[in-house]
A and B are shown apart, each in its own frame.
Chain A
Amino acid sequence: MVNVIDLPEEEYIYPGTRACAGCAMALIYRIALKALGSNTIITVPASCLTVLHGMQGFCTTKISVYHTPFATTGASASGILAALEDKGLADEINVLAFAGDGGTTDIGVQALSGAVERGTNFIYACYDNEAYMNTGVQRSGSTPLGVQTTTTPEGKLVHKKNMPRILEAHGIPYVATANAAYPLDLYEKFKKAKEIKGSKYIHILSPCPPGWGYDPKYTMLIGRLANETGFWPLYEVIDGTFKLSNSSKRYLDSSKRKPITEYLKAQKRFNSIDKKTIEAYEKYIENAWIDIKSRLEKQ
């Protein structure tokens, strides 16, 4: 496991951005850019990240960014890569696509699926704040069960779309889940992805203070709870081989997992949750770990 001293000190994002206080996405982006370095071109669809980059004339990053319409992140990254290959620069410059959950699991699915099916050599990072936060907290395909959003005031009726599993089914060389609350693990995953040729997908849980309903100082605590309750296990799938990340290994033992209610009760967005939904969550987590265990045993 990499040490905090090993991370490069250089920052690629200038302070004073429009991100909310305590925004996990800002931290995720900061760590990811440290892993990739300045020889990178980033493409960003409509999202909170668009706003973080700043308004006309003045941006906040020391790396070039190409903003693109909502549905096109995967295609946009393919285009940047194609032009770099045409110019013979593809080996020197990383292509990074950085989208939110809406732009990945919903409107951006087609372009992403197409891009990875073509084996496009790029890293696609999805920061998942589990709703359309930039437009005011509407539900997305990545919103978990029971969550109150402006379009699901009674609570979302279905579970979260398992996007990492969908990407695994495309047979790409690297799929990983990550968490803003585990920045060193996140850094390592981006560094690993940078060295692999082919499509790489990293899905990062990004707690959102205004959208999830908690005090901004608890962003990392909430993120950790997601792992500690077994709700968001950290893992990698490298060329089809499943590997549980170190920070999630102890939760193979169900007795070590914290009760899911601890995670749910800490966020106002789960206020309308009832007993049935909590049971659904417990079943969901149990099934997820049965699946993880069986995958580890098969290898």
Chain B
Amino acid sequence: MILTGNHAAAHAFRQARVGVVSAYPITPQSPVVEKIAEFIAEGKLKARFVKVESEHSAMAVLCAASATGSRVGTATSAHGLELMYEMLPWASGNRLPIVLNLATRSLGAPWSVWTDHQDFITIRDVGWIQLFCENNQEIYDTNIQAFKIAEDPRVLLPVACAFDGYVLSHTAMPVKLEKQDMIDDFIPPLKHHINLSDISTVKGIDPVTTPQVVKRNEGVAPGYYEYRYSLQKALENSIDIIKEVHDDFARKFGRSYGNGIYKEIQTDDADTIIFGMGSVASQSRVAIEKLRIEGLKVGLVSLKLFRPYPAEELREFFKDKKNIIVFDRDIGYGYEGTLSYELKAALYGLKNRPNIKGFIVGLGGRDVKTEHIINGVHKALDEFEKDIYTNKTDFLGLNLEELEDYDEESYFKGG
């Protein structure tokens, strides 16, 4: 079928037999929930769609519905995600296998409906598994895998699948939808560990939990610290299961995405690697072709798994590489692009550290052009040669020269 990214996600929800969907419309994600509502109305999906009054309530509904024992999912973007933020650690702390689709969009102020990866990175510390997709087939495939990963009893964590807003969400591409019985075979029915709907066992979920372990005659109860330890260890160990599910999917359906953690393109003979995520990586595929024509041996690593951060895998991959140029479609304000500084931290342990330089591209939907990437590579290689190192961010694609006479003083006079 020819599907937009949004509709690919909706089809994945339908085939995964999601039980409860709760979402709120927001550009550019609204078509996901519109399509799901259509599926339910046509009887193609037997699910309850709770049409909530805000994203915060959407995630609250899903946390409660998941805890009661249903398979749940939703979609959102930018400010919707930020409004949900209070509930995100609630979902991971409860170990609820919720799947969230994120059509990435930049954050205000000022208002922007176009894509960048800022919203995606804001949730990196709440304890969710985070995956990024480069094309619509990957959106569908990743969603199917996401349910299986999330519900694996060795994992039990919420998963966020992201894809660029408009670039993928509204762009139609060929997507192969698999047969329903094969999907049913791949994703077994949910066996929820909390399952409040089984009222034969009385459970109090999420009470106030003290810092200490509590002991009394009736038993012992872990403290908050132990619960968070358990969450972190689950995240760390989930990398293996993410790889496992990816490989299972590849065996069953014949499609793979690198090793499930990252995709590497033409890196075997390359000592200079471009590192990016999503639309940035897609654009870089064109850039490395052009750079190779110039004679530079450049490869590309497109990061798919953002959390848990695959530090070991990346350290193993980059240990013999000389130069890495990172392009971030996001920025850790006050510091650098997150991909850039996280990679630097991951490779800290290497004996022979590669040169790493980060660039900022495409914030607020500013077009990421092949020439920007090529210019970035040239500039970086130049700086590496001259032994120049800086944390100060380099923005590619700015149009400051057109704003020579622009002055906002007349607006912001103060009083």
Task: Using CB atoms and an 8 Å cutoff, list the residues of chain A in contact with chain B.
Answer: 38-41, 43, 50-51, 53-59, 61-69, 71-72, 74-80, 82-87, 89, 93, 110-111, 113-114, 117-118
Interface-lining segment among B199-207, B313-321, B358-366: B199-207
Interface membership of B70, Cβ < 8 A = yes
| A79 touching B214 in the complex, CB below 8 Å, given contacts A61-B202, A93-B197 | no
Interface membership of B181, Cβ < 8 A = no
Task: Using CB atoms and an 8 Å cutoff, list the residues of chain B in contact with chain A.
Answer: 19-20, 22, 46-48, 50-54, 56-58, 60-70, 72, 86-87, 90, 196-197, 199, 201-210, 214, 216, 218-224
Contact A80 B218 (CB under 8 A): no
Q: Which residue of B lies closest to A70 (CB)?
A: B86
Contact A89 B90 (CB under 8 A): no
Q: Which residue of B lies closest to A55 (CB)?
A: B208
Contact A78 B52 (CB under 8 A): yes
| A66 touching B87 in the complex, CB below 8 Å, given contacts A56-B222, A75-B57, A110-B54 | no
| Docked pose: A86 CA to B224 CA in angstroms | 32
Contact B218 A58 (CB under 8 A): yes
Contact B63 A76 (CB under 8 A): yes
Q: Which residue of A lies closest to B19 (CB)?
A: A86
Contact B199 A79 (CB under 8 A): no
Contact A56 B209 (CB under 8 A): yes
Contact B64 A80 (CB under 8 A): yes
Instruction: Give the distance to chain A from B378, nearest Cβ to Cβ, in Å.
Output: 50
Q: Which residues of A contact B46 (CB under 8 A)?
A: 86
Contact B196 A41 (CB under 8 A): yes
Select B87's contact among A63, A72, A77, beta carbons within 8 Å.
Answer: A72
Instruction: Give the distance to chain A from B127, nearest Cβ to Cβ, in Å.
Output: 16
| Docked pose: A117 CA to B53 CA in angstroms | 9
Contact A66 B205 (CB under 8 A): yes
Select A82's contact among B48, B205, B209, beta carbons within 8 Å.
Answer: B48
Q: Which residues of A contact B206 (CB under 8 A)?
A: 66-68
Instruction: Give the distance to chain A from B363, nearest Cβ to Cβ, in Å.
Output: 31
Q: Which residues of A contact B69 (CB under 8 A)?
A: 83, 87
Contact A114 B196 (CB under 8 A): no
| A68 touching B207 in the complex, CB below 8 Å, given contacts A57-B214, A110-B54, A118-B50 | no
Contact B207 A53 (CB under 8 A): yes
Select B57's contact among A40, A67, A114, beta carbons within 8 Å.
Answer: A114
Q: Which residues of B contact A59 (CB under 8 A)?
A: 202, 204, 207
Contact A67 B50 (CB under 8 A): no
Contact A71 B208 (CB under 8 A): no
Contact B68 A41 (CB under 8 A): yes
Q: Which residues of B contact A114 (CB under 8 A)?
A: 52-54, 57
Q: Which residues of A contact B205 (CB under 8 A)?
A: 64-67
| Docked pose: A83 CA to B154 CA in angstroms | 23
Contact A93 B199 (CB under 8 A): yes
| Docked pose: A75 CA to B90 CA in angstroms | 14
| Docked pose: A40 CA to B68 CA in angstroms | 12
| A41 touching B209 in the complex, CB below 8 Å, given contacts A69-B87, A83-B65, A114-B54 | no
Contact B64 A68 (CB under 8 A): yes
| Docked pose: A83 CA to B67 CA in angstroms | 9
Contact A64 B64 (CB under 8 A): no
Contact B67 A72 (CB under 8 A): no
Select A66's contact among B19, B52, B196, B223, beta carbons within 8 Å.
Answer: B196
Q: Which residues of A contact B51 (CB under 8 A)?
A: 118
Select A75's contact among B60, B210, B219, beta carbons within 8 Å.
Answer: B60
Contact A56 B214 (CB under 8 A): yes
Contact B86 A69 (CB under 8 A): yes
Q: Which residue of B lies closest to A77 (CB)?
A: B64
Q: Which residues of B contact A89 (CB under 8 A)?
A: 197
| Docked pose: A50 CA to B207 CA in angstroms | 7
Contact A64 B218 (CB under 8 A): no
| A72 touching B65 in the complex, CB below 8 Å, given contacts A64-B203, A79-B20, A83-B70 | no
Q: Which residues of B contact A76 (CB under 8 A)?
A: 60-61, 63-64
| Docked pose: A110 CA to B57 CA in angstroms | 9
Contact B221 A56 (CB under 8 A): yes
Q: Which residue of B lies closest to A63 (CB)?
A: B202
Contact B204 A68 (CB under 8 A): no
- Which 10 pairs across A and B sit closest by C-beta, in order of nearness? A57-B221, A79-B64, A114-B53, A72-B60, A59-B204, A83-B68, A75-B57, A79-B61, A75-B60, A83-B70
Contact A55 B210 (CB under 8 A): yes
Contact B57 A74 (CB under 8 A): yes
Contact A72 B56 (CB under 8 A): yes
Q: Which residue of A lies closest to B205 (CB)?
A: A66
Q: Which residues of A contact B72 (CB under 8 A)?
A: 83
| Docked pose: A266 CA to B52 CA in angstroms | 43
| Docked pose: A40 CA to B197 CA in angstroms | 9
Q: Which residues of A contact B62 (CB under 8 A)?
A: 79
Contact B65 A82 (CB under 8 A): yes
